[in-house]
Amino acid sequence: MSKRRKFNVLDHVLVPKHEIVPDSEVDSVLKQFKIDSKKHLPKILSTDPAIKAIRAKEGDVIRIYREEPTGKVIYYRLVV
């Protein structure tokens, strides 16, 4: 063991897949939920380890593929 490999949260089993929603798709997401502003989306801190790992910036919309006891759900969050 010479060098410690850097740990990547995204590889962990308990961390669902996070991805940045491209700007072009943001509008359709807002339309899907019938909301007029990104501000009405749930928030996620820019200091969140998963957000750091995917290098998202403040104002980005994140898509999270969560697996809940009730089934697979797609969550959207706004980085703040």
Our finding on whether 80 is near other proteins (CB under 8 A) is no
Using an 8 Å Cβ cutoff, are 65 and 17 in contact? yes
3-state helix, strand, coil in the chain (%, to 5): 25, 30, 45
Q: Which of 17, 33, 52, 65 binds other proteins (CB under 8 A)?
A: 33
- What is the rounded distance in angstroms from the CA atom of residue 61 to the CA atom of residue 24? 11
* Binding region for other proteins (CB under 8 A) out of 2-10, 20-28, 29-37, 46-54: 29-37
Instruction: Please work out, in degrees rounded to the nearest 5, the angle formed at the alpha carbon of residue 69 by the alpha carbons of 55 and 49.
Output: 20
Binding mask 49-68 for other proteins (x = CB under 8 A): -----------------x-x
Return residues touching other proteins (CB under 8 A): 32-35, 39-42, 66, 68-71, 73-76
